[in-house]
Amino acid sequence: MFSNSNILGPLFWIIMGVLYMVFITGLVVWLKDLNIKMNWWKWSLVLLWFILLSIIIAGGFTLIGENEMRAGLLFIAVPGAVMIVAGVALSRFLFRNRHEKQNN
């Protein structure tokens, strides 16, 4: 990562960490506002989905970085399509038992 600099590499991962934190914080607020009750295994499912998606994207781009454009795109497209379907299924599942909308 950033072979010409030994500053940007660590900085990149610090920023990534911040982004994950911001994402999770935002997600908590979203779920609250959508009246979706979460528990530990629902959270694990959501995070597992997100981590898998990240791995698929990172893996595909690794292949693209290796000059394997076709393989990289298919690596993203095929499991990516499965992830989209799984994402829709997961969100329907989360929305299924949500509480009546409250006024806040």
Partner 1 sequence: MKNKIIDSIIVLSVGFVVIIAAVTGKIIAEKDDLKLIGSILKPGEELQAVNNNKHILFDERGEAYGFIYSGEGRGYNGKLRVAAVSDTTEVIKSVQVLTNKETPSFINRLFRRNFLARFEGIRFSELAAGDKSVDAVAGATITSSAIKEALILGFTAGEGLQQNNNFNISAGWPELMVLLLFLISALISVKKFSAARKYLLWASWTLSVIFLGFVLGQPLTLPRFITLFTGYLPDPGGELYILLIPVLAVGFILISGKNNYCRSVCPFGATQEILGAIGNASHMRLKRFRLVKYIQWGITLLAVVLALVMNNPSVAEYSVFGAFFQLTGTALIFILLLLSIIMSLFFRRPWCNYLCPVDGVMAYFRTMRRAVISIFKR
Partner 2 sequence: MNKIDRRKFIKSAGLAGGALSLAGAAGAGYSAGADKDSYTGYGRTNYGEDQFFNRKPFIVDNPTYVKKGEPVRITAVEDIFKRNGMLSRLMFSRGDIEPAWKPADGIDALPGQLRDYYKANPGALEEFIKAMEKGRAQRANWEKYRDKYFIADAWSTAHSSPIRGRGAFPAEPRDRPEKSDFRGVNKVKLEPKSPSHASELIKKICYSFGASLAGIAKVKKEWVYQGSLRGVGREDYEVPSHWKYAIVIAVPHEWDSMYANPTYGTSYDAYSKLRFIAGKMEVFVKELGYSSRPHVPPTSYDLVMPPLAIDAGLGEQGRNGILITPELGANTRLAAVTTDMPLEPDKPIDIGVSRFCEKCKICAEECPGGAIDFSDKAETVVRGYKRWKIDQNKCFTIWNSVATSHARGCRVCLSVCPYSRKNNWVHSFAREVDPRDPTGLVASGLLAMQKKFFNYPGGQEYLPPPDGNNRTFGEAPEWMKTDEWFKI
Interface residues toward partner 2, by CB under 8 A: 1-3, 12, 15-16, 18-27, 29-30, 33, 50, 53-55, 57-68, 70-72, 74-75, 78
* Encoded tokens for 9: 């590499």
2 or 95: whose CB is closer to partner 1?
95
Q: Is 84 in the site for partner 1 (CB under 8 A)?
A: yes
Q: Provide the CB-side half-sphere exposure for 33 (13 A, CA).
A: 6
| Residue 57: Cβ-neighbour burial (10 angstroms; 0-12, 13-18, 19+) | middle
Between CA 58 and CA 8 the distance in angstroms is 19
Q: Is 34 in the site for partner 1 (CB under 8 A)?
A: no
| Residue ranges that bind partner 1, judged by CB under 8 A | 74, 77-78, 81, 84-85, 88-89, 92
